Amino acid sequence: MYFPKPLRLLGTVAIVAAVAGAAFFTRDRWVAMFSSSESESHVADAARPVEQPKVLKLSPQARRNLKLVAKPARPQTYWRTIQVPGSIVDRPGRSDRGVTSPAVGVVSEIHAFPGDTVRPGDRLFTLRLFSEYLQNTQKELFRSTKEAQIAREQLARLSPLADRGGISKSRIIEVENQLLRQEAVIHAHRQDLLTRGLSPQQIANVANGQFVSTVDVVAPPRIKERGKLVTIRQASFQEGAGSDEVFAFEVQELNAGLGQQVQAGQLLITLANHSSLYLEGHAFKREAPFLENAAQNGWKISVEFSEDVPEHWPGLEQSFEIRYLSNSIDEQSRTFDFFIPLVNQSRSYKNNGETFVVWRFRPGQRVRLHVPVEKLNDVFVLPSAAIVREGPEAYVFQQNGDLFNRIPVQVLHEDRLNIVVANDGSVTPGLYLAQSAAASLNRVLKAQAASGMRADVHVHADGTVHASH
């Protein structure tokens, strides 16, 4: 049936209006349906797992800027240690020597001053004697010497007469006994004068009537330790020169002044010889079992010397072991001390004809003592900068050319310098691991992943990294 054009237009409008009306009245149903579909799509996108970045790529210039060094991972044995503070101290009875006055007198000359180097037998002071005892001893020595001389002459005259029967033998025996008594007195006086500081030549002069009015106080001889002489190992930097055994004292303090009257036994000067020192550690009581085990087993102690310039000295070729533990606790610091022997190094220089000694280690210098407490076998030991942490996770970076693969590891122990990693299969022995800048590598890895950059690589099961085939 044919409808006029106006009627067709009117019918089309009516149909559109009906559809629109139906859509309007049913809008709650179809809007909820579309919203549910869109929500499900968003949930699916949110649940999609995010792949963590594992590999990064660095140019040679970037590696040089980070000063990256890679070394192969080698299982080894590591000693877990505790760190104990300490200091270098004088060794009692070895480092400092006091020199006293042998008799009553006045200091007339001083031959050594603080900082000077003196050797055994060198003059330190000259004393003008005021000692009545010393003067009497010299007089008695001279008198006994003369009486012994007279007895010898008398014995020489009477012996021929006794042989011919001119006198009795008892007279000869009496003279011989008198001579023996005088020789005993002479020997006693000589020993007394030796202990008072007189030299054998001076004592010989006293016996001839030349009394001594002044006495030289000299540096004492070297000390014997268990039958061995304590010597200084002098460090020499001259080409072809070795370590010579040279013993010397350094004048540390003058205890008497010029013109001062001193008594017998009064301290005149303090000499120092720092060739034998102690490392004194200060530990808390809870650390006592560790120190006792180290002392009993003879474990080696590692020492860090503060304020030391090792490149200016020869290598320190000595091992450090605990000699003894103190059995008292300091009331203020609540620590107890332990002691480790230290053999010092020295060198000398001359200025205006005088020799001066410079010691490598000095009393009061601070040290850190690393005491071993546990032995860890078959582990990887890396510098502390080779590890980066993210919460409970710890990572190292394995290098393969320009590529760096991040590997999770288990940390067994760490200190200020090193980190000990378990050899549990996460790191294959022989792989090259970055020894530093792990934190920087981790930041670069995250930055590359956030920017969408791809390293275009894949990781094999053994941990090696290769470009995609």
Return the exposure string of 134-167: e unless at least 16 CB atoms fall within 10 Å of the residue's CB, then b: beebbeebbebbebbeebeeebeebeeebeeeee
- Say which residue, 437 or 130, is predicted with more confidence: 437
Q: Do the beta carbons of residue 403 and residue 55 sit within 8 Å?
A: yes
Query: How many domains does the chain divide into?
Result: 4
92 falls in which pLDDT band (50, 70, 90)?
confident
pLDDT of residue 1: 52
Which of 1-15, 34-48, 265-279 is least confident?
A: 34-48
* Selection from 271, 235, 270, 277 nearest residue 255 by Cα: 270
pLDDT at 289: 92
Between 229 and 198, the more confident residue is 198
pLDDT at 464 > cutoff 60: no
Residue with tokens 């016996």: 207
- Token pair for 152: 């010898």
* pLDDT for position 232: 39
DSSP code of 327?
S
In angstroms, rounded to a whole number, what is the distance separating the alpha carbons of residues 128 and 104?
9
- Asked if residue 381 and residue 453 are part of one domain, the reply reads yes
Neighbours of 247 (CB within 10 A): 16
Confidence of residue 72 (pLDDT cuts 50, 70, 90): very high
Query: In this model, does residue 225 exceed pLDDT 70?
Result: no
Choice between 32 and 334, residue whose per-residue pLDDT is larger: 334
Specify whether the backbone of 85 is left (phi greater than 0), alpha (psi in -120 to 50) or beta. Answer: beta
Per-residue CA distances from 77 to 74, 81, 194 (Å): 10, 13, 61
Same domain, 338 and 325: yes
Q: Are residues 63 and 152 in the same domain?
A: no
pLDDT of the residue at 78: 92
Among residues 216, 236, 268, which one ends one of the domains? 268
Residue 376, beta-bridge partner list = 78
> Of 374, 389, 410, which residue constitutes the final position of a domain?
374
Strands (E), 53-199: 55-57, 70-72, 76-90, 96-100, 105-110, 117-118, 123-129
Residues 411 and 454 in one domain: yes
Residue pair 258/110 in contact (Cβ under 8 Å)? The answer is yes
pLDDT per position as a tens digit, 166-187: 777 788 888 888 889 989 999 9
Joined together, the tokens standing for residue 173 give 């025996």
**What are the phi and psi torsion angles at 126 (to 5°)?**
-120, 125
- Listed residues 268, 293, 313: the one ending a domain: 268
Supply the pLDDT for residue 231: 42
- Picking from 32-36, 106-110, 379-383, which range would have the lowest pLDDT averaged per residue? 32-36
| Beta strands in 306-442, from DSSP E residues, in sequence order | 324-325, 335-343, 346-351, 354-359, 366-383, 388-390, 393-400, 403-409, 411-414, 418-422, 432-434
Give CA torsion, residues 418, 422, 425, 431, to 10 deg.
10
Looking at residue 154, what is its pLDDT? 84
pLDDT at site 459: 46
Q: Compute the distance between CA of residue 118 and CA of residue 146 in angstroms, rounded to an integer.
A: 39
Do 399 and 432 contact (CB within 8 A), yes or no?
Answer: yes
Residue 57 has pLDDT above 70, yes or no: yes
The band of 241, judged by pLDDT with boundaries at 50, 70 and 90, is: very low
Instruction: Please tell me whether residues 259 and 135 are part of one structural domain.
Output: yes
Task: Output the domain CATH number for residue 73.
Answer: 2.40.420.20
Closest CA to 384 of 419, 412, 413: 419
Task: Mark whether 257 and 206 lie in a shared domain.
Answer: yes
CA 448 to chain CA centroid, Å, is: 45
Q: How far is CA 189 from CA 147, 181, 196, in A?
A: 14, 13, 11
pLDDT score at 416: 80
User: CB–CB of 263/315 below 8 Å?
Assistant: no
Residue 279 pLDDT more than 90?
A: yes
Both 260 and 337 in one domain: the answer is: no
Asked whether the predicted pLDDT for residue 110 surpasses 90, the reply is yes
Task: Note the pLDDT of residue 238.
Answer: 35
> Does residue 437 carry a pLDDT above 50?
yes
The C-alpha atoms of residue 205 and residue 114 are separated, in whole angstroms, by: 33
Residue 50, pLDDT score: 45
How high is the pLDDT of residue 86? 95
Closest CA to 275 of 215, 195, 357, 338: 357
Pair (108, 150) in one structural domain: yes
pLDDT at 66 over 60: yes
Report the percentage of the chain scoring pLDDT > 70: 80
The pLDDT of residue 302? 92
Residue 51, pLDDT above cutoff 90: no
- Same domain for 313 and 234: no
Contacts of 395 (CB under 8 A, 6+ apart): 387, 388, 389, 406, 407, 408, 409, 438, 442
User: Using CA atoms, how far apart are residues 146 and 161, in angstroms rounded to an integer?
Assistant: 24
Structural domain that includes position 418:
55-77+375-467
- The rounded distance, in Å, linking the Cα atoms of 93 and 428 is 55
pTM over cut 0.85: no
Distances (CA, A) of 341 to 92, 215, 324, 331: 12, 38, 10, 25
Taking 60 as the threshold, does the pLDDT of residue 40 lie above it?
no
- Residues 214 and 116 reside in one and the same domain: yes
Q: pLDDT tens across 286-310, in order?
A: 999 999 999 999 999 999 998 888 8
Residues 137 and 284 in one domain: no
Same domain, 123 and 234: yes
Residues 6+ apart with CB under 8 A from 248: 117, 118, 119, 232, 273, 348, 355, 357
| CB proximity list for 214: less than 8 A, separation 6 or greater | 108, 126, 127, 128, 129
What rounded mean pLDDT belongs to the chain?
81
List, in order, residues 6 or more apart from 198 with CB less than 8 Å away: 206, 212, 215
Would you give the distance in Å from CA 90 to the centre of its chain? 15
Average pLDDT over residues 192-206: 83
